[in-house]
Chain A
Amino acid sequence: GIQVEQSPPDLILQEGANSTLRCNFSDSVNNLQWFHQNPWGQLINLFYIPSGTKQNGRLSATTVATERYSLLYISSSQTTDSGVYFCAVDADYKLSFGAGTTVTVRA
């Protein structure tokens, strides 16, 4: 199956800082999504982004499908951004997840 690698595994930020999370995947995909898992365990879809760039407030994402990677940008981080960020790819109608990046934003 498709391999999904995320980096870094852990990220500690001071409130207000910017950061970039990376997702590499091993094969062509139909779909790539970024999720945020909050401290209560709920997974929230952030972006559906098989290619191109999207922005939603302080978050943006870019996927370069031909080079098999995606980046998630967090700008002006806030403590509410803390949690685990997952990249997931879909090549055959089921999602394969990376191991996640745990983000801790300190006030």
Chain B
Amino acid sequence: DVKVTQSSRYLVKRTGEKVFLECVQDMDHENMFWYRQDPGLGLRLIYFSYDVKMKEKGDIPEGYSVSREKKERFSLILESASTNQTSMYLCASSLWGSVYGYTFGSGTRLTVV
């Protein structure tokens, strides 16, 4: 089974800090995604990547950046954390053109105080 591993389950950071959320997948998937989940809003796409060093903005990229230096790793960066970025962050990966869909990590619950 594909595994998508997120480095932290819970994270508490201070306003203004630079925050890194890490995601690693072990099945050579081309596509990787970062979503945030908020009550009543479902999952919203922040950024995604189709290949190493490639990135595309999703629906809510403001305040975030990403890095994909290796195929298996996709990092989400909050340059200056704010309280409105308190949320659950979910990473996912998928094989290009796969009919089997996406695999998600177990999420990182980030609290910015």
Contact = CB atoms under 8 A, between A and B. Distances in A.
Contact of B41 (A40, A43, A96, A99): A99
Given A1-B59, A43-B90, A99-B42, A93 B31 contact: yes
Interface in A1-40: 1, 4, 9, 31, 33, 35, 40
A86 B101 contact: no
Given A33-B102, A41-B107, A94-B33, A100 B42 contact: yes
Contacts of B31: 93
Contact of B104 (A43, A93, A98): A43
B58 A33 contact: no
Please classify the interface of chain A as helix (H, G, I), strand (E, B), loop, or mixed, using the class held by over half of its residues.
strand
Nearest to B58: A94
Given A86-B43, A99-B41, A40 B102 contact: no
B101 A48 contact: yes
Interface residues of A, number: 22
A88 B92 CA distance: 13
Contact of A97 (B44, B48, B109): B44
A48 B42 contact: no
A45 interface: yes
Given A40-B106, A94-B48, A45 B101 contact: yes
Interface in B37-82: 40-45, 48, 50, 58-59
Contacts of A48: 99-101
Nearest to A38: B106
A42 B104 CA distance: 7
A29 to B, nearest CB: 13
A91 interface: no
Contacts of B19: none
Given A48-B99, A96-B45, 8 more contacts: A1-B59, A4-B42, A41-B88, A45-B103, A94-B58, A95-B43, A95-B45, A96-B59
12 contacts: A4-B42, A31-B99, A33-B101, A41-B109, A42-B107, A45-B103, A93-B50, A95-B102, A96-B59, A97-B43, A99-B41, A99-B42
